[in-house]
Amino acid sequence: MSNTTDLFASAPLGPLTLPNRLVMAPLTRNRAEADGTPTPLMATYYAQRATAGLIVAEAATPNAAGQTYPNITAVHSARHVAGWRLVTDAVREAGGRMFLQLQHGGRVGHPATSGLTPLAPSPVPLPETVFTPDGHRPAVVPREMTTEDIRTTVADFARAARNALDAGFEGVEVHSANGHLLHQFLAANTNLRTDGYGGSVAARIRFTAEVVEAVAAEIGAERVGLRVSPGNTVNGIAEGETDALYPALVERLGGLGLAYLHLVHADPDAPLFGRLRAGWPGVLIANPVLPESPATQAVRHASARLLAAGADLVALGRPFLANPDLVARLRLDAPLNPVRGRYLMYVGGATGYTDYPALGEVTAQPSSSSSDALDGSRVA
Protein backbone atom coordinates (compact mmCIF):
# COMPACT_ATOMS: atom_id res chain seq x y z
CA MET A 1 0.00 0.00 0.00
CA SER A 2 1.20 3.51 -0.82
CA ASN A 3 2.63 5.60 2.02
CA THR A 4 2.95 8.79 0.00
CA THR A 5 0.66 11.26 -1.73
CA ASP A 6 3.55 12.48 -3.91
CA LEU A 7 2.58 11.83 -7.54
CA PHE A 8 6.18 12.26 -8.58
CA ALA A 9 7.75 9.76 -6.20
CA SER A 10 9.09 6.51 -7.63
CA ALA A 11 7.13 3.32 -7.10
CA PRO A 12 7.74 -0.43 -7.48
CA LEU A 13 5.55 -2.42 -9.88
CA GLY A 14 6.36 -6.08 -10.33
CA PRO A 15 9.86 -6.21 -11.87
CA LEU A 16 9.82 -2.47 -12.59
CA THR A 17 10.63 0.70 -10.68
CA LEU A 18 8.42 3.47 -12.02
CA PRO A 19 9.85 7.02 -12.00
CA ASN A 20 6.49 8.49 -10.94
CA ARG A 21 3.01 7.33 -9.91
CA LEU A 22 1.18 8.50 -13.03
CA VAL A 23 -0.17 5.80 -15.33
CA MET A 24 -1.45 6.49 -18.83
CA ALA A 25 -4.75 4.61 -18.94
CA PRO A 26 -5.62 2.46 -21.98
CA LEU A 27 -7.42 4.62 -24.53
CA THR A 28 -9.23 3.28 -27.60
CA ARG A 29 -7.99 5.41 -30.53
CA ASN A 30 -8.76 3.40 -33.72
CA ARG A 31 -5.44 4.10 -35.44
CA ALA A 32 -4.47 0.50 -36.26
CA GLU A 33 -4.66 -1.08 -39.69
CA ALA A 34 -7.86 -2.92 -40.59
CA ASP A 35 -6.39 -6.25 -39.44
CA GLY A 36 -5.40 -4.82 -36.05
CA THR A 37 -1.71 -4.21 -36.78
CA PRO A 38 -0.28 -1.13 -35.01
CA THR A 39 1.04 1.64 -37.25
CA PRO A 40 4.15 3.87 -37.15
CA LEU A 41 1.87 6.77 -36.19
CA MET A 42 0.98 4.86 -33.03
CA ALA A 43 4.66 4.54 -32.19
CA THR A 44 4.97 8.32 -32.37
CA TYR A 45 1.87 8.82 -30.20
CA TYR A 46 3.04 6.56 -27.40
CA ALA A 47 6.66 7.74 -27.50
CA GLN A 48 5.40 11.31 -27.02
CA ARG A 49 3.88 10.17 -23.70
CA ALA A 50 6.81 8.09 -22.47
CA THR A 51 7.34 10.20 -19.35
CA ALA A 52 4.34 8.49 -17.74
CA GLY A 53 5.43 6.17 -14.96
CA LEU A 54 3.69 3.42 -16.90
CA ILE A 55 1.77 3.37 -20.18
CA VAL A 56 -1.00 0.80 -20.48
CA ALA A 57 -1.51 0.55 -24.22
CA GLU A 58 -4.97 0.47 -25.74
CA ALA A 59 -7.02 -2.71 -25.79
CA ALA A 60 -5.74 -5.43 -28.10
CA THR A 61 -7.88 -8.42 -28.98
CA PRO A 62 -6.57 -11.92 -28.22
CA ASN A 63 -8.48 -13.49 -31.13
CA ALA A 64 -10.53 -12.46 -34.15
CA ALA A 65 -13.88 -13.03 -32.42
CA GLY A 66 -12.98 -10.48 -29.76
CA GLN A 67 -12.84 -7.48 -32.11
CA THR A 68 -15.12 -4.64 -31.08
CA TYR A 69 -14.76 -1.74 -33.55
CA PRO A 70 -12.90 -0.98 -36.79
CA ASN A 71 -9.17 -0.26 -36.62
CA ILE A 72 -8.63 -1.40 -33.06
CA THR A 73 -5.47 -3.31 -32.26
CA ALA A 74 -4.91 -7.05 -31.94
CA VAL A 75 -2.12 -9.30 -30.72
CA HIS A 76 -2.86 -12.76 -32.11
CA SER A 77 -0.63 -12.90 -35.22
CA ALA A 78 3.04 -12.48 -36.07
CA ARG A 79 2.18 -9.31 -37.98
CA HIS A 80 0.53 -7.82 -34.90
CA VAL A 81 3.58 -8.66 -32.80
CA ALA A 82 5.90 -7.00 -35.31
CA GLY A 83 3.73 -3.88 -35.39
CA TRP A 84 3.66 -3.63 -31.61
CA ARG A 85 7.44 -4.09 -31.50
CA LEU A 86 7.82 -0.80 -33.39
CA VAL A 87 5.73 0.86 -30.66
CA THR A 88 7.52 -0.63 -27.67
CA ASP A 89 10.95 0.06 -29.18
CA ALA A 90 10.01 3.73 -29.66
CA VAL A 91 8.69 4.05 -26.12
CA ARG A 92 11.69 2.30 -24.60
CA GLU A 93 14.06 4.54 -26.57
CA ALA A 94 12.19 7.52 -25.11
CA GLY A 95 12.65 6.14 -21.60
CA GLY A 96 9.20 4.65 -21.06
CA ARG A 97 7.63 1.38 -19.93
CA MET A 98 4.50 -0.32 -21.33
CA PHE A 99 1.92 -2.94 -20.47
CA LEU A 100 -0.62 -4.03 -23.09
CA GLN A 101 -4.31 -4.35 -22.26
CA LEU A 102 -5.94 -7.57 -23.49
CA GLN A 103 -9.63 -7.17 -24.28
CA HIS A 104 -12.27 -9.43 -25.79
CA GLY A 105 -15.41 -7.49 -26.73
CA GLY A 106 -17.89 -10.33 -26.31
CA ARG A 107 -21.29 -9.07 -27.44
CA VAL A 108 -19.76 -5.64 -28.16
CA GLY A 109 -18.89 -6.52 -31.73
CA HIS A 110 -20.46 -7.06 -35.13
CA PRO A 111 -20.06 -9.42 -38.11
CA ALA A 112 -19.66 -6.38 -40.36
CA THR A 113 -16.41 -5.65 -38.53
CA SER A 114 -14.97 -9.04 -37.60
CA GLY A 115 -16.72 -11.33 -40.07
CA LEU A 116 -17.82 -13.44 -37.10
CA THR A 117 -20.89 -13.67 -34.88
CA PRO A 118 -19.96 -12.23 -31.47
CA LEU A 119 -19.59 -14.61 -28.54
CA ALA A 120 -21.00 -13.93 -25.07
CA PRO A 121 -21.92 -15.76 -21.88
CA SER A 122 -25.59 -15.75 -22.96
CA PRO A 123 -27.51 -14.79 -26.13
CA VAL A 124 -28.38 -11.32 -24.83
CA PRO A 125 -27.72 -8.58 -27.42
CA LEU A 126 -26.26 -5.18 -26.71
CA PRO A 127 -29.20 -2.79 -26.25
CA GLU A 128 -27.73 -0.18 -28.60
CA THR A 129 -26.10 0.14 -31.98
CA VAL A 130 -22.53 -0.92 -32.72
CA PHE A 131 -20.09 1.15 -34.78
CA THR A 132 -18.87 -0.76 -37.85
CA PRO A 133 -17.00 0.09 -41.08
CA ASP A 134 -20.45 0.90 -42.51
CA GLY A 135 -21.44 3.20 -39.64
CA HIS A 136 -23.73 2.46 -36.72
CA ARG A 137 -25.67 -0.79 -37.10
CA PRO A 138 -28.09 -2.62 -34.80
CA ALA A 139 -26.40 -5.09 -32.48
CA VAL A 140 -26.76 -8.78 -33.29
CA VAL A 141 -27.69 -11.57 -30.91
CA PRO A 142 -24.39 -13.10 -29.74
CA ARG A 143 -23.79 -16.82 -29.69
CA GLU A 144 -23.72 -18.34 -26.21
CA MET A 145 -20.26 -19.67 -25.47
CA THR A 146 -19.92 -23.40 -24.99
CA THR A 147 -17.57 -24.85 -22.39
CA GLU A 148 -15.14 -25.52 -25.23
CA ASP A 149 -15.43 -21.88 -26.37
CA ILE A 150 -14.55 -20.81 -22.85
CA ARG A 151 -11.51 -23.08 -22.69
CA THR A 152 -10.34 -21.88 -26.10
CA THR A 153 -10.76 -18.23 -25.16
CA VAL A 154 -8.83 -18.68 -21.92
CA ALA A 155 -6.01 -20.25 -23.94
CA ASP A 156 -6.17 -17.38 -26.45
CA PHE A 157 -5.66 -14.85 -23.65
CA ALA A 158 -2.61 -16.75 -22.40
CA ARG A 159 -1.18 -16.96 -25.94
CA ALA A 160 -1.83 -13.23 -26.47
CA ALA A 161 0.03 -12.46 -23.25
CA ARG A 162 3.05 -14.39 -24.52
CA ASN A 163 2.80 -12.50 -27.81
CA ALA A 164 2.76 -9.22 -25.89
CA LEU A 165 6.04 -10.05 -24.17
CA ASP A 166 7.49 -11.10 -27.52
CA ALA A 167 6.42 -7.68 -28.82
CA GLY A 168 8.45 -5.95 -26.10
CA PHE A 169 5.83 -5.16 -23.47
CA GLU A 170 6.76 -5.40 -19.80
CA GLY A 171 3.46 -7.08 -19.00
CA VAL A 172 -0.27 -7.17 -19.73
CA GLU A 173 -3.50 -5.93 -18.22
CA VAL A 174 -6.50 -8.28 -18.41
CA HIS A 175 -9.61 -6.19 -19.14
CA SER A 176 -12.62 -7.27 -17.06
CA ALA A 177 -14.37 -3.90 -17.19
CA ASN A 178 -16.57 -1.54 -19.21
CA GLY A 179 -19.09 -4.10 -20.41
CA HIS A 180 -16.78 -6.31 -22.45
CA LEU A 181 -16.64 -10.11 -22.38
CA LEU A 182 -15.20 -10.73 -18.93
CA HIS A 183 -17.46 -8.07 -17.43
CA GLN A 184 -20.41 -9.70 -19.21
CA PHE A 185 -19.69 -12.90 -17.28
CA LEU A 186 -19.69 -10.93 -14.02
CA ALA A 187 -23.00 -9.18 -14.70
CA ALA A 188 -26.36 -10.77 -13.86
CA ASN A 189 -28.19 -9.25 -16.82
CA THR A 190 -25.74 -10.57 -19.44
CA ASN A 191 -24.87 -13.87 -17.77
CA LEU A 192 -27.98 -16.06 -17.63
CA ARG A 193 -26.05 -19.33 -17.52
CA THR A 194 -27.02 -22.19 -15.25
CA ASP A 195 -23.73 -24.10 -15.48
CA GLY A 196 -20.56 -23.54 -13.49
CA TYR A 197 -20.03 -20.10 -15.05
CA GLY A 198 -23.33 -18.47 -14.08
CA GLY A 199 -25.78 -17.91 -11.25
CA SER A 200 -23.85 -17.56 -8.00
CA VAL A 201 -21.18 -14.95 -7.33
CA ALA A 202 -18.52 -17.67 -7.25
CA ALA A 203 -19.62 -18.94 -10.67
CA ARG A 204 -19.85 -15.50 -12.26
CA ILE A 205 -16.30 -14.55 -11.25
CA ARG A 206 -14.96 -17.88 -12.51
CA PHE A 207 -14.24 -16.90 -16.12
CA THR A 208 -12.34 -13.73 -15.20
CA ALA A 209 -10.39 -15.66 -12.60
CA GLU A 210 -9.52 -18.47 -15.02
CA VAL A 211 -8.31 -15.98 -17.65
CA VAL A 212 -6.11 -14.19 -15.12
CA GLU A 213 -4.77 -17.43 -13.71
CA ALA A 214 -3.91 -18.75 -17.19
CA VAL A 215 -2.19 -15.52 -18.20
CA ALA A 216 -0.23 -15.47 -14.94
CA ALA A 217 0.86 -19.07 -15.46
CA GLU A 218 2.02 -18.21 -18.99
CA ILE A 219 4.11 -15.09 -18.34
CA GLY A 220 4.45 -14.77 -14.55
CA ALA A 221 1.99 -13.15 -12.18
CA GLU A 222 4.32 -10.22 -11.53
CA ARG A 223 3.74 -9.14 -15.16
CA VAL A 224 -0.08 -9.30 -15.03
CA GLY A 225 -2.58 -6.65 -14.00
CA LEU A 226 -6.37 -6.85 -13.81
CA ARG A 227 -8.75 -3.99 -14.65
CA VAL A 228 -12.29 -3.86 -13.22
CA SER A 229 -15.05 -1.25 -13.12
CA PRO A 230 -17.38 -2.05 -10.20
CA GLY A 231 -20.89 -0.74 -10.72
CA ASN A 232 -20.17 0.53 -14.23
CA THR A 233 -23.29 0.35 -16.44
CA VAL A 234 -21.62 1.14 -19.77
CA ASN A 235 -22.55 -1.12 -22.69
CA GLY A 236 -25.83 -2.08 -21.06
CA ILE A 237 -24.37 -3.76 -17.97
CA ALA A 238 -26.32 -4.31 -14.75
CA GLU A 239 -24.09 -6.35 -12.48
CA GLY A 240 -26.24 -7.09 -9.45
CA GLU A 241 -24.43 -7.98 -6.19
CA THR A 242 -21.57 -5.59 -6.98
CA ASP A 243 -20.57 -5.42 -3.32
CA ALA A 244 -20.17 -9.20 -3.27
CA LEU A 245 -18.67 -9.78 -6.72
CA TYR A 246 -15.50 -7.76 -6.42
CA PRO A 247 -14.41 -8.72 -2.90
CA ALA A 248 -14.88 -12.35 -3.98
CA LEU A 249 -12.77 -11.77 -7.09
CA VAL A 250 -10.07 -10.05 -5.03
CA GLU A 251 -10.08 -12.91 -2.53
CA ARG A 252 -9.67 -15.52 -5.28
CA LEU A 253 -6.86 -13.70 -7.07
CA GLY A 254 -5.14 -11.92 -4.20
CA GLY A 255 -2.68 -14.71 -3.51
CA LEU A 256 -1.31 -14.94 -7.05
CA GLY A 257 1.12 -12.05 -6.66
CA LEU A 258 -0.25 -10.04 -9.58
CA ALA A 259 1.41 -6.78 -10.62
CA TYR A 260 -1.68 -4.72 -9.82
CA LEU A 261 -5.43 -4.28 -9.59
CA HIS A 262 -6.77 -1.35 -11.63
CA LEU A 263 -10.07 0.27 -10.54
CA VAL A 264 -11.94 2.37 -13.12
CA HIS A 265 -13.71 5.56 -11.95
CA ALA A 266 -12.58 4.97 -8.39
CA ASP A 267 -14.29 6.91 -5.61
CA PRO A 268 -12.05 7.06 -2.52
CA ASP A 269 -15.09 7.81 -0.33
CA ALA A 270 -17.05 4.73 -1.45
CA PRO A 271 -17.18 1.84 1.03
CA LEU A 272 -16.37 -0.65 -1.74
CA PHE A 273 -13.15 1.20 -2.55
CA GLY A 274 -12.07 0.78 1.06
CA ARG A 275 -13.00 -2.90 1.08
CA LEU A 276 -11.08 -3.60 -2.10
CA ARG A 277 -8.04 -1.68 -0.89
CA ALA A 278 -8.07 -3.58 2.37
CA GLY A 279 -8.55 -6.92 0.63
CA TRP A 280 -6.01 -6.46 -2.16
CA PRO A 281 -2.47 -7.27 -0.97
CA GLY A 282 -0.62 -5.70 -3.88
CA VAL A 283 -0.37 -2.53 -5.94
CA LEU A 284 -3.66 -0.70 -6.52
CA ILE A 285 -4.07 1.61 -9.53
CA ALA A 286 -7.04 3.96 -9.29
CA ASN A 287 -8.62 5.93 -12.13
CA PRO A 288 -10.47 9.04 -10.88
CA VAL A 289 -13.70 10.53 -12.18
CA LEU A 290 -12.78 13.80 -13.94
CA PRO A 291 -14.44 16.28 -16.32
CA GLU A 292 -13.72 15.75 -20.00
CA SER A 293 -11.12 18.53 -20.05
CA PRO A 294 -10.05 19.03 -16.42
CA ALA A 295 -7.83 21.82 -15.13
CA THR A 296 -4.42 21.08 -13.66
CA GLN A 297 -5.51 21.55 -10.07
CA ALA A 298 -8.52 19.28 -10.53
CA VAL A 299 -6.27 16.48 -11.75
CA ARG A 300 -3.78 16.97 -8.93
CA HIS A 301 -6.53 17.15 -6.30
CA ALA A 302 -8.30 14.02 -7.51
CA SER A 303 -5.00 12.15 -7.72
CA ALA A 304 -3.91 13.19 -4.23
CA ARG A 305 -7.24 12.04 -2.77
CA LEU A 306 -6.80 8.59 -4.30
CA LEU A 307 -3.23 8.27 -3.06
CA ALA A 308 -4.29 9.38 0.42
CA ALA A 309 -7.02 6.71 0.39
CA GLY A 310 -4.50 3.97 -0.32
CA ALA A 311 -4.01 3.87 -4.09
CA ASP A 312 -0.41 3.31 -5.13
CA LEU A 313 -0.69 4.69 -8.67
CA VAL A 314 -3.15 6.97 -10.48
CA ALA A 315 -4.33 6.22 -14.02
CA LEU A 316 -5.37 9.13 -16.21
CA GLY A 317 -7.00 8.91 -19.64
CA ARG A 318 -8.05 12.13 -21.37
CA PRO A 319 -5.39 14.27 -19.62
CA PHE A 320 -2.70 12.09 -21.23
CA LEU A 321 -4.59 12.06 -24.53
CA ALA A 322 -4.42 15.86 -24.81
CA ASN A 323 -1.08 16.43 -23.06
CA PRO A 324 1.90 14.39 -24.23
CA ASP A 325 3.96 16.06 -21.48
CA LEU A 326 1.33 15.66 -18.75
CA VAL A 327 3.85 14.73 -16.07
CA ALA A 328 5.80 17.96 -16.59
CA ARG A 329 2.62 20.06 -16.70
CA LEU A 330 1.36 18.63 -13.42
CA ARG A 331 4.76 19.02 -11.78
CA LEU A 332 4.95 22.67 -12.86
CA ASP A 333 1.25 23.46 -12.27
CA ALA A 334 1.11 24.44 -15.95
CA PRO A 335 -2.20 24.67 -17.82
CA LEU A 336 -3.48 21.58 -19.61
CA ASN A 337 -4.49 21.37 -23.24
CA PRO A 338 -8.24 20.82 -23.59
CA VAL A 339 -9.44 17.68 -25.33
CA ARG A 340 -10.50 18.62 -28.85
CA GLY A 341 -13.64 17.31 -30.59
CA ARG A 342 -14.58 13.91 -29.24
CA TYR A 343 -14.87 12.35 -32.66
CA LEU A 344 -11.17 13.07 -33.27
CA MET A 345 -10.44 10.33 -30.76
CA TYR A 346 -11.56 7.70 -33.23
CA VAL A 347 -11.39 8.95 -36.84
CA GLY A 348 -7.77 8.02 -37.56
CA GLY A 349 -4.82 10.15 -38.63
CA ALA A 350 -2.57 12.56 -36.79
CA THR A 351 -5.18 15.24 -36.07
CA GLY A 352 -6.30 15.01 -32.47
CA TYR A 353 -3.70 12.30 -31.92
CA THR A 354 -0.06 13.27 -32.34
CA ASP A 355 -0.55 17.03 -32.86
CA TYR A 356 -1.28 18.08 -29.27
CA PRO A 357 1.46 20.55 -28.28
CA ALA A 358 3.94 20.12 -25.47
CA LEU A 359 4.82 23.09 -23.25
CA GLY A 360 6.33 25.88 -25.32
CA GLU A 361 4.95 24.53 -28.58
CA VAL A 362 2.11 26.01 -30.58
CA THR A 363 -0.03 24.08 -33.00
CA ALA A 364 -3.25 24.66 -34.87
CA GLN A 365 -6.37 23.74 -32.91
CA PRO A 366 -8.89 22.73 -35.58
CA SER A 367 -12.50 22.82 -34.53
CA SER A 368 -14.44 19.64 -35.06
CA SER A 369 -17.95 18.35 -35.14
CA SER A 370 -19.45 15.17 -36.45
CA SER A 371 -22.89 13.73 -36.73
CA ASP A 372 -21.23 10.35 -36.39
CA ALA A 373 -19.46 11.04 -33.10
CA LEU A 374 -18.73 7.81 -31.27
CA ASP A 375 -19.67 6.85 -27.75
CA GLY A 376 -17.38 8.31 -25.12
CA SER A 377 -17.46 5.02 -23.22
CA ARG A 378 -14.83 3.79 -25.65
CA VAL A 379 -12.17 5.97 -24.05
CA ALA A 380 -10.26 4.44 -21.13
pLDDT of residue 61: 98
Q: Looking at residue 292, what is its pLDDT?
A: 84
CB 160 within 8 A of CB 60: yes
295 vs 293: CA distance, rounded Å: 7
Q: What is the DSSP letter of 86?
A: H
Q: What is the pLDDT along the chain (380 residues), one digit of tens a residue?
A: 556 679 999 999 999 999 999 999 999 999 999 999 999 999 999 999 999 999 999 999 999 999 999 999 999 999 999 999 999 999 999 999 999 999 999 999 999 999 999 999 999 999 999 999 999 999 999 999 999 999 999 999 999 999 999 999 999 999 999 999 999 999 999 999 999 999 999 999 999 999 999 999 999 999 999 999 999 999 999 999 999 999 999 999 999 999 999 999 999 999 999 999 999 999 999 999 998 889 999 999 999 999 999 999 999 999 999 999 999 999 999 999 999 877 688 888 999 999 999 998 865 444 433 333 334 344 44
Sign of CA dihedral 358, 361, 363, 369: positive
Strands 129-132 and 135-138: antiparallel
**Nearest Cα to Cα of residue 176 among 262, 252, 235:** 262
Residue 370: the pLDDT is 34
- pLDDT attached to residue 374: 39
* Nearest alpha-carbon partner for 195 in 184, 183, 186, 204: 204
pLDDT tens-place string over residues 22-36:
999 999 999 999 999
pLDDT in tens, 82-123: 999 999 999 999 999 999 999 999 999 999 999 999 999 999
Residue 357: other Cβ atoms inside 10 A? 15
How open is the CA angle 303-375-24, to the nearest 5 degrees?
A: 30
Look up residue 44 and give its DSSP letter: H
pLDDT for res 375: 40
pLDDT in tens, 151-178: 999 999 999 999 999 999 999 999 999 9
Neighbours of 137 (CB within 10 A): 15
- Kindly report the pTM of this predicted structure: 0.95
Q: Exposed/middle/buried for 366, CB within 10 Å: 0-12, 13-18, 19+?
A: exposed
